[in-house]
Structure 1
Amino acid sequence: MKKETLIDEIKKAFENEKYPGDNNLVYNNSREHYECNELKNQFIGKKWVEITNELLFENKDALPFFSKEGFKYYLPSFMIYIINDYYESDTLSDNLISILTLPQEIDLAIMAKDINKFELNKKVPEFDFEKYLYEQLETINERVKDFICQVKLINVEQSKLVLKFLQFLQNNYPSEYINNPVKPQTAIDRYWFQFE
């Protein structure tokens, strides 16, 4: 599919999406949560079609701080930016694919392998990687539940466009995902395939 066609379809599928409200953009509105406050202040009152590429790039690592409703509302902005400027978007594509991938226990085995492969426990000795992996394993069901709660807000037409977006990345940038643990195909195989 041509990128222009995909972008037009995404715009159409999300065009009637309602702004979630100023207090429903991020998952934590308390003044103590710095990252959520920063993200909220940058996106507050902005329609998804008004978001600039610069703002998206500045917030490429902030996706987890959106509320489920905020994430859904701004999702088309992030997808369109990545489609238009894949390499310029830097790590945003990996971050978005990660959020769109249903978590599984195998992810932790891959993470443990990478920790050993890159000797991260030696490079960052003050961080307890073993404890972190056990904590992640204990919360896998909660993370699966969070994923399902998040994606169920995305309607069928929009979900079909998420699938097409992931397929576009996999088909147009296959070499970017050879040694990358974050793969569009994994996201497709675990959840989005059903919207074919």
Structure 2
Amino acid sequence: MNATEVIQLIEDAWRDAVYPGDSKIFTSESNDDEDITRYFCGTTWRGHEPSNLRAHSSAFTFFTPEAFHYWLPAFMIAAITSPWEADVILHYIPRSVGDGYAAQRLLLFSQNQKLATAEYMRWRIELRPNGSYDERKALAVLERSA
């Protein structure tokens, strides 16, 4: 699958995703000292500049499962369209899908969203076959949850 096809798959899978609500953006146990809530509050997962997402990439650590589910497509699309601008996002995406919180997060994903995320991982693996440990781990988690 090429980049355009992966983006289309992501967009189709999240087309009807529901905004999590302003109170479900940031975990209550943490302090939002990077303005993650202010940046994402009231936005959709569409139309984010890769540089803005990179500036708020700590969201991967502090997003609630609902927020992670809702805004993940924005980060994946930014990583595909502007990998140099996305920078650290390229590493955070597979790590956040393959970490200890993945099971809780993936419960919110539809089958099509899991498939689109898996296809993103496959696309990244194809680009970097020798440097894709995190992507392979995330793909295995996605395949087990399907």
TM-score between the two structures when normalised by the length of structure 2: 0.89
Question: Is contact 1:61-1:92 (8 Å) kept?
Answer: no
The counterpart of 2:135, out of the listed 184, 190, 193, is: 184
1:175 Cα offset (Å): 4.2
Distance 1:14 1:43, change over 3 A: same
Runs (5+) with no aligned partner, structure 2: none
In structure 2, the partner of 1:154 is 109
Q: Distance in 1 between matches of 2:50 and 2:137?
A: 26
Partner of residue 54 from structure 2, selected from 48, 53, 57: 57
Q: 1:138-163 CA deviation, whole Å, 9 max, x = no partner?
A: xxxxx4xx331111101111000110
Q: Residues of 1 paired with 2:96 and 2:2: CA distance? A: 24
Q: Distance in 1 between matches of 2:23 and 2:145?
A: 31
Task: Output the TM-score relative to the length of structure 1.
Answer: 0.68
| Aligned structure 1 segments of 4 or more residues deviating by more than 2 angstroms | 173-177, 193-196
1:195 is displaced (CA, Å) by: 7.0
Q: Give the alignment's Cα RMSD to 1 decimal.
A: 2.0
When Rg is computed on C-alpha atoms for both structures, the one with the higher figure is 1
Letter in 2 for 1:183: D
Give the Cα–Cα distance (whole angstroms) in 1 for the partners of residues 3 and 102 of structure 2. 27
| Number of residues of Structure 1 aligned to a counterpart in Structure 2 | 146
Structure 1 gaps, min length 5? 103-142
Identical positions, percent: 21
Q: CA deviation at 1:62?
A: 2.7
